[in-house]
Structure 1
Amino acid sequence: MKHGKKLLSVLLALVMVLALLPSAAFAAEGEKHITILGTSDMHGNIWGFSYEDSKETDNNGMARLYTYIQQVRAENPNTILIDAGDDIQGTIMTDDIYNKIPEEPHPVVAAMNYMGYDAMTLGNHEFNWGIDTMQKILSQAQFPVLAANVKDASGGFVTGAGWTIVEKDGVKVAVIGVVTPDVPIWDGGKEGVEACTYEAANTAVKNAIAEIGDGADVIVVSAHMGMYAEFDEDGGSDSAQKILDDNPEIDVLQVAHNHVVVSETQGDTVIGGVRNGGRDIARFDLTLDQNNHVTDATVEIVDMTGVTPSQALRDIELVKESHQKTIDFITGGGSGEDGEGGAALGSTTAKFQPVDEIAGLPEGKLQDTAVMDLINKVQLENSGADVSAAALFKDTSDLPEGDINYGNIFDIYKFDNTLYRVTVTGKELKGYMEWAAACYNQWVPGDINISFDPEYPGYLYDMFAGVDYEIDLSQPKGERIKNVMFKGAPLQDDQTLTLAVNNYRYSSALKAQNLIAGKKEWESSNSIRDMIVAYLAEHAPISPEVDNNWKIVGVDLSLDDPRRQEIIDLVNAGRLDTPYDKSYNLADYDAIIASAAPAGNVAVNGTVVGSAFAYQINDGAVYYRLRDLAFALKDTSAAFNVEWNGQMVVITKGAAYTAEPIQDSAMSPAVTETTLSVLADGQVEVAAALMSPGYHCVTAEGLAALLGLSVTEADGVLTITAA
C-alpha cells in the first residue's frame, strides 16, 4: 500500500547475477523481503494423479506445489501462502465422493491445512453444491476463507470474512478476497445461492481498503476472476482490471478463473495468475525499506513440470485414504467405494478420437468426432430435442479401446451438469452457433493450420448435432456459420425447434448473453454423465461412429506444399512450439525454420537421439536435466529410468523411462550446486549435481558416474558411449 522509490533499472543486471545467493546477504540495512505465493484453480488435484487415465502426472498437483512452497519457505521464512479458489471441485474424488458427504473431513481442506495456507478466496466452483455444503466443507479450514463481495441473507460475509491481515517481519499484509459476482448465473438454482448478494468486485475491494485504512503496509487482492469482464463488459463488476483501475494502491493482484498464465506489471502493481490443477504457482517478491514502504516488486509464474511431489503431503492419512478410495470407486464402476467385482461399465471396439496431425493441436476441435457424436446422441435421446449442443471440455478427452470404467466417462464429461430442453428459433440457433465458432482465429492465406483464440476457453466451444452446417474461417467472428440444414432443408430464421443443452451453458451463455428468448421447458433428474454411463451399459460394446454433420471451410492449408510438412515435422519433434493460438504462415517460412531448436544435444555412440535441457551457471560446468536424459535415451543401449522413492533419486539402468517428457525449458533461479544421493546399483554420491524444486541435473561427469559409461562433451553435444 505504501510505495517508496523503485529500484533503478540499472541494478537489474546485478540483481540477476546475485540471484543464486541468499538475498539476506545483500539486503540494505533495515531492508525486508516478503514473498507471497499464490495458487488457484487446483480443482481437487491433491496427488498429481489422473484418475481418468489411472496414472501419475508429472506436471501438476498440490503435492508438487508443496515441494516448491517448502523450498521457498526455507529461502525466505517471511513467505505468505494464499489461494484464489476453485479447489474443492474438479476430480472424481471431490465431485463423486467427498462433496456428497460434506459433514465428513474433506481431503482437499486437510491438504491445504497441512500446507499452511494463510488465506483462501472463494471460487465460483465452491458454490456448485450450494451454500450449506460449501460452508460445511470450508468450516474445516484452519485459515480464513475470504469473499468480500458475497454476503448471506443475514447480511454477513458468506464465509465469515472479506479480508485478513498477515504479519511477517513486522510487515502487515492485507489480503482481500473477491469472487466473480457471476456465481448466480451458473449456480442460481443451488441451495442458498440466490439468497446471497453479490457486489461488484471493484466496489467491494474499495470498501475493504477503506476499512483497513492504515492497518496494513501492503495490499494484496486475491480475485477469482480474469483480467477482463466475462459478462459485465459495461460495468466491469467481474473484471480484475476494473478492480485495479479503481484501486491503484494495490501492491499485488492475484487473478484466477480462466486457467491461463498472467504475469505483468501495471504501474506499481504486480499481477499474476496460474493455470489449473496445480500446474503453476505465482511467486510475488516484495522488497521493503525500514519504514515498510515497498521499493521493489516482481512476479514470476513457476511451472511445476518435473517437480517431485511431496511424499509428506501424500502420506497425510486422509489424503492417502481418499486417493485409494477414489481408485476403488472407479474400479467399482462408480457405484461403490470398495471396488468389489471391478466390473467395467461397458466396452468399445476402438478409440473415439482421431490422431492429431500436429502435436498439441486437437483434431477433436477441427472435425466432427465420435466422442462428440456420442455425447450429443445421448442428449438427444434423453431430451427428445431436435438439436443438441455439447463441448469437448478437455482437448484430449477420449474413450479408449476396450473396457470402460467410470474414470473414462469422467474424462469425456467431467462436470456434474444436468440437461435442459428449450425452444429456439432458427435465428437464435445460428446466433448461438456463431458464438461457439468464435473460438477460432480467422484464417489468412498462407496459414498451414487452424488455430484458436487464446482469450476464448476451449470448454466454451460447442459442437452441434441434429443440423448440418459449415464454419467458414475465412470470415470474421459473427459471420462464419454457413449452409445450416435441418431435416434436409435450409434452416429458416423464423422456424422453431427444440434444443438440448446443459444447465451451465443455458445459464451462462444462452440467457446471460441474450442468445435466446425462450425458457427451459424440461430438466433432467440425473446428470449427463449418468446418462452416458447408462447408454454405455445398455449398448456395449459401442463403436466410434461419426456422421460428419459439420466441417470447416474457407481455408487452404497448403496440404501439398512440402514446406508445410517440414514445419509440422519440426513441431512433432518438439523443435517448434505448437501453433495453438497463432498459425504458422508460409510467408514466414524462413524465420520459422530458423527459430527451430537444434535437432538434439544427446548422442549415443555418435548418433543424436534427442535433447536435454542444459543449464550453465556463471560460465561453469553444464548441467543436464536427468528426466530429459532418461527420455532421450529410452530406446537406446544407454537407457535408464529415473524416479523418486520419497527419499532419494532412483536410477534403474537398462530400464526404459516411461513418463511423459518435460515440455518446458524453465529452471527456477533458486538452484544449488550440491552432492546428489542417487540409488543406482547401490547408493552413489554425485558431486557434479544441480538441484532445483523437483529438477535434478548432472554434468557429463555425474552421468558417467551414475551409468558407469563413458560420457563426453563436444560442440554442445553430450555423447554416451555404450555397448
Structure 2
Amino acid sequence: MSIIKLKQKPSPRNPGSGTWHDFSLLQPVLFLVAGLTSCGQEPASERASPLAEGDTVSITVMATADVHGRVRAWDYYRDQEEPRYALSKVATLVDSVRAAHEHTLLLDAGDWLQGNPFAEYFAMHDPQNRHYPFLAATDHMDYDAIVLGNHEFNFGLEYLNRQIEMTDTPVIGANIYHRGTEEPAYPPYIFREIAGLRIAIVGLTTPGSAVWDRPRVEGILDFADGLEAAHRFVQEVRDEHRADVVIILAHTGLDGGTSYHRDDLGDENFGRAVGEEVPGVDLLVLGHTHRAIDDVVLEGADGREVGVIQPGRWASHLGVAEMDVVRQQDGTIRVVSISTANHSVAEVDEHPGIIALTREAHEDVVAFVTEPMAMTDDEWSARDSRKKDTPIIDLIQTVQKEQTGAQLSAAAAFNTSVSFGPGPITRGDISLLYPYYNTLYKMQITGEQIRSFLEHTSQYYTTETDEEGNPVVNRGWPGFNFDMLAGVTYVLDLRNHPGERVTKLMYNGEPVDGDDQFTIAINSYRAEGGGGFDMLHDAPVLMTIDRSVGDMILEYLQDKEVIRYEDVFKENWHLVY
C-alpha cells in the first residue's frame, strides 16, 4: 500500500477549508478553572459558501476505538510482533482514505490511556514524564476529536489532565460534570466547517466510571446519564449553534446492558437509545464493548436514518462512514445516504511517520517489560484456570492475602492464554496475567455474602456440557467476572441452576454459616460494584491499598527470586458438571 504524507490540521488563524474553535481546546486544569466559556459563532468570513439547493457534499468519517495503548504493532507481553493491531497501521489507512476523499474527519471513541504495558509504562514508570505517545500520534495524524472513555480515569485526574494539556487534539466528554453541577468539566462538543457545512461532534461516555474509578473521581466529577446528556447537547448544537450534521462520538456500546447496579446512574451502554430516541442525530461512532459493528442503520426519532460504526478494539480496524449531505428544496440540510464499513489493519504496513515518532518510546518500553523479575522451574499456565484451581491464580490470591492480612481472597483469570516458565518471569508475563490497573481492598463479609458471591459468579457457566463433557460457557458472562476464592473450600455443581450451585462451603474444615464473619482481599473494580456483585454493596471496607495489584505481584516475585508451585498453590475448589 502506498504511503501518503499525513495532511496537516488547518491553523485556527488560517482556517482554510476547516475552522477550529478555541472552545474545543479548553481543558480543566486540575479543576481549578471554573467552567467552560460559551461557544460563540465564528466570523462569517471564515465560513465557506453554503450549499446551493440540490448540491451534495460527501463527508467521510474515519474512526478508531478502544486502542488501549496499541500504538505500535508489537506484543509487549510476549516481546514479539503483533500484526493484527496498531495505530501505526491505522495511520497508513488514514492516508489512503484522505488521498481518495476530499472531506474527511478522524475520531476516536475512547479508552486510549490504559490497557497494555506500553500505556501503563507512561502512566506509572516513565522517569521523563513524557507526552503519552498515543496522544502524540493523534496530534501527528490530525485527529479531529477523541472522547474520554472509562479507562482514562484509571490513573487519576492529575495524570489525565496533564496529558490533555500537552496535546493539540480536542478531548471531549459532554456528560462529565463538575461535582454537584450540570456544568461540563470537559468540552462537550466541537465543530468542524466542511464545504459550508457545520459539523457538530458531541462527546459522551459511559457513566460507569463513577463506580469503577470512584476513589479517583468522587467529590470531583459527576457522570450524567448519557441519553439525557445527548438530548441536551444535540438540541444545543442544533438550535443555538446551527449545526447541519450531528455526530455522536461515544464511549458506549450499541447494546450490551449494564454491568453495575446504581439507581443514580444511567445505563452503561446507551448507543441504541441515543440513535433511536434523540432527534437530530446523523451518525453514531461507538466504542467500549470492543465489538466491530458496521453496515447498521437505525431509524431516528425524527425519521432520519442514523448510521452506526464501531471499529473493534486495539486499533484492529479503521471504521469508515460515508455520508452524502444535500440541501433540499425547503432549504434544510439533510444526510440523504450513509454507509459504514470496518477495514482491518492486519495486512497493512506501519506508517513510517508514526514509527519515527514513537521509536524511542517503543524501545524504552521493550527494555522495561523484558526485565526478569524471578526464576521458576515450573510451567505456569492459566489455560484451565476457569475450570479448576491452578497455581497461577493462587499466585494472585497469595499476594492479595499477604498484602491485606485477609482470611480470604477473590481473583479472576483475566487471560487464559497466559503462561510462563520454566525460566525467567518478566514484567511482561505479569502484565499479561494481571492486565488491569486494579488496586486492592480488604472488606468484611458474612458467610451468606460468600455464598451469594459464589452463586453470582457461577453464572459464567450454563447447566449444559459439550460433546466432550466440558461445561458450556455462558457467552453473555465475561470471563473477568468469574471470580475464584481462596481461603474457603467449596464445590460448585453446575448441573444446578445459579442460586443452588454451592453444595459445599467450608472454612478450616468447618461448614460456613450465614452469619459467620470473614475478611476478604478483593480488587477495586469488584469492591466498587463492577460485575453486578451487589452482595458487596454494604460490606465494610477495612483497608485500601492504592497500588496496582500487578505491581504487588512483581514485588512479591522480586522478593522470592525463585518461585515454585508449592509456595502458593493450595487446591480448595472444584466444579461438578
Q: Aligned pair in 2 of structure 1 residues 320, 451: CA closer, same or farther (>3 Å)?
A: farther
Q: How does 1:521-560 map to 2 (within 5 A)?
A: 521-524=542-545, 526-544=547-565, 546-554=569-577
Aligned counterpart, 2:268: 238
1:219 and 2:246 matched: yes
Residue 62 of structure 1, aligned match among 87, 90, 104: 87
Matched with 2:384 is 363
Q: Cα RMSD between the aligned structures?
A: 2.7
| Equivalent of 1:270 in 298, 302, 307 | 307
SS of the residue corresponding to residue 363 of structure 1 reads coil
Residue 272 to residue 453, structure 1, CA distance change in 2 (3 Å) = farther
Which one is further off, 54-63 or 445-454?
Answer: 445-454
Residue identity matched to 1:471: L
Q: Does residue 97 of the first structure (1) align with residue 122 of the second (2)?
A: yes
Please tell me whether residue 320 in structure 1 is matched to residue 341 in structure 2.
no
Is the contact made by 2:276 and 2:298 (CA closer than 8 Å) also made in structure 1?
Answer: no
Take 1:473 and 1:458, find their aligned partners in 2: how far apart are those partners? 16
Deviation at 1:415, TM superposition (A): 2.6
Identify which of 159, 164, 167 aligns with 2:193: 167
**Distance in 2 between residues matched to 1:479 and 1:271, nearest whole Å:** 41
Distance (whole Å) between structure 2 residues aligned to residue 217 and residue 425 of structure 1: 57
One-letter code of the match for 1:385? A
Does the residue aligned with 2:431 lie in a helix, a strand or coil? Answer: helix
Partner of 1:497: 518
Post-superposition offset of 1:96: 3.0
Distance 1:510 1:58, change over 3 A: closer
CA displacement at 1:468 relative to structure 2? 2.2
Is residue 345 of structure 1 aligned with residue 377 of structure 2?
no
Once the two structures are superposed, residues 192-219 of structure 1 have per-residue CA deviations (whole angstroms, 9 ceiling, x without a partner) of 5531222111111111111112522222
Quick one: distance in 1 between partners of 2:236 and 2:350?
40
1:206 maps to which residue?
Answer: 231
Q: Which secondary structure state, in structure 2, belongs to the residue aligned with residue 293 of structure 1?
A: strand
Q: In structure 2, give the amino acid aligned to 1:534.
A: E
Q: How does 1:436-447 map to 2 (within 5 A)?
A: 436-443=457-464
Q: Distance in 2 between matches of 1:266 and 1:233?
A: 28
Q: Which moved more, 1:372-381 or 1:459-468?
A: 459-468
Q: Residue 209 of structure 2 aligns with which residue?
A: 183
Cα distance change on mapping 1:33 and 1:232 into 2, 3 Å: farther
Question: What is aligned with 1:194?
Answer: 219
Please identify, of 465-474 and 368-377, the stretch whose mean Cα deviation from structure 2 is larger. 465-474
Give aligned-pair identity as a percent. 26
The 8 Å contact of residues 59 and 307 in structure 1, kept in 2 or not, is answered as: no
Quote the Cα distance in structure 2 between the aligned partners of 1:236 and 1:523: 27
In structure 2, the residue matched to 1:21 is none
Deviation at 1:511, TM superposition (A): 8.6
Letter of the 1:304 partner, please give it: V
The residue identity in structure 1 corresponding to 2:339 is: T
Structure 1 residue 137, shift from structure 2 partner: 0.2
Larger radius of gyration: 1
SS in structure 1 of the partner of residue 308 of structure 2 = strand
Where 2:359 maps in the other structure, the secondary structure is: helix
Kindly provide the amino acid, as one letter, of the partner of residue 347 in structure 1.
M
Quickly say closer, same or farther: Cα 1:304–1:454, change in 2 above 3 A.
farther
Whether 2:291 is the aligned partner of 1:257: answer no
Q: CA deviation at 1:423?
A: 1.0
Residues 115-159 of structure 1 show CA distances to partners (whole Å, capped at 9, x for unaligned) of: 111111101111122222211101222222111011235864322
Aligned partner (choices 178, 184, 188) of residue 152 of structure 1: 178
Alignment of structure 1 residues 80-119 onto 2, 5 Å: 80-98=105-123, 104-119=130-145
Q: Is the 8 A contact 1:399 1:412 kept in 2?
A: no
**C-alpha spacing 1:135/1:298, structure 2 compared with 1 (3 Å):** same
Q: Would the alpha carbon gap of residues 36 and 475 (structure 1) be closer, same or farther in structure 2, given more than 3 Å must change? A: farther
Q: Per-residue deviation at 1:255?
A: 2.3
Distance 1:302-1:232 versus aligned 2 partners, 3 A rule: farther
Corresponding residue of 1:298: 339
CA–CA separation in structure 2 for the residues paired with 1:303 and 1:548:
43
Q: Distance in 1 between matches of 2:464 and 2:472?
A: 8
Q: Which moved more, 1:520-529 or 1:202-211?
A: 520-529
Structure 1 residue 395, shift from structure 2 partner: 2.8
Of 407, 423, 428, which aligns to 1:407?
A: 428
Q: Identify if the C-alpha distance between structure 1 residues 168 and 185 changes in structure 2 by more than 3 Å, giving closer, same or farther.
A: same
Could you report, residue by residue, the CA deviation over 1:418-441 in whole angstroms, capped at 9, with x for unpaired residues?
221111111111212222222234
Q: Is contact 2:527-2:536 (8 Å) kept?
A: no
CA distance in 2, matches of 1:466, 1:516: 21
Once the 2 structures are TM-superposed, how far is the Cα of residue 543 of structure 1 from its aligned partner?
A: 2.6
Q: Tell me the TM-score normalized by structure 1.
A: 0.65
From the superposition, tell whether residues 490 and 388 of structure 1 become closer, same or farther in structure 2 (CA, over 3 Å).
same
Structure 1 residues 170 and 414: alpha-carbon distance in aligned structure 2, compared to 1, 3 A threshold: same
Query: CA offsets, 1:242-299, max 9 Å, x none?
Result: 3334315422222222223334332222223243321233222222335442222222
Paired residue type of 2:351? S
Q: What is the identity, as a one-letter code, of the residue corresponding to 1:329?
A: F
1 or 2 for the larger relative contact order (CA 8 Å, sep ≥6)? Answer: 2
Instruction: Sort the Cα spacing of 1:223 and 1:79 in 2 relative to 1 into closer, same or farther, 3 A.
Output: same
Task: Tell me how far 1:99 sits from its aligned partner.
Answer: 5.3
Equivalents in 2 of 1:145, 1:75: separation in Å?
27
Work out which of the residue numbers 156, 159, 174 in structure 2 matches 1:130.
156
Output the TM-score relative to the length of structure 2: 0.81
CA contact (8 A) 2:109 2:286 kept: yes
Q: Take 1:449 and 1:118, find their aligned partners in 2: how far apart are those partners?
A: 49
Q: Secondary structure at the match of 1:44?
A: coil
User: For 1:377 and 1:433, how far apart are their aligned partners in 2?
Assistant: 19
Give the letter aligned to residue 132 of structure 1. E
Q: Distance in 2 between matches of 1:432 and 1:76?
A: 54
Q: For 1:329-365, what per-residue CA distance to the aligned partner results, in whole angstroms no more than 9, with x for missing partners?
A: 234x4xxxxxxxxxx31111132116xxxxxxx5332
CA distance 1:525–1:181, shift in 2 (3 Å): closer
Preserved contact between residue 252 and residue 271 of structure 1 (Cα < 8 Å): yes
Aligned counterpart, 1:517: 538
The number of residue pairs the alignment matches comes to: 505
Matched residues in 1 for 2:176 and 2:466: separation? Answer: 49
Q: Return 474-483 or 172-181, whichever deviates more.
A: 474-483
CA distance, structure 2, for counterparts of residue 525 and residue 231 of structure 1: 22
CA distances 1:508-564 after superposition (whole Å, capped 9, x unpaired): 33897343422210223543223212221233322345544222222xxxxxxxxxx
Unaligned runs of at least 5 residues, structure 2: 1-53, 300-304
Q: How does 1:401-440 map to 2 (within 5 A)?
A: 401-440=422-461
Q: C-alpha separation between the residues in 2 aligned to 1:296 and 1:477?
A: 47
Q: Deviations over 1:216-249 (max 9, x none)?
A: 2222112212333333587744331333343154
Match of 1:443, SS state, is strand
Shift of 1:53: 0.8
8 Å CA contact 1:131–1:193 kept in 2: the answer is no
- In structure 1, how many angstroms separate the alpha carbons of the residues matched to 2:402 and 2:527? 19
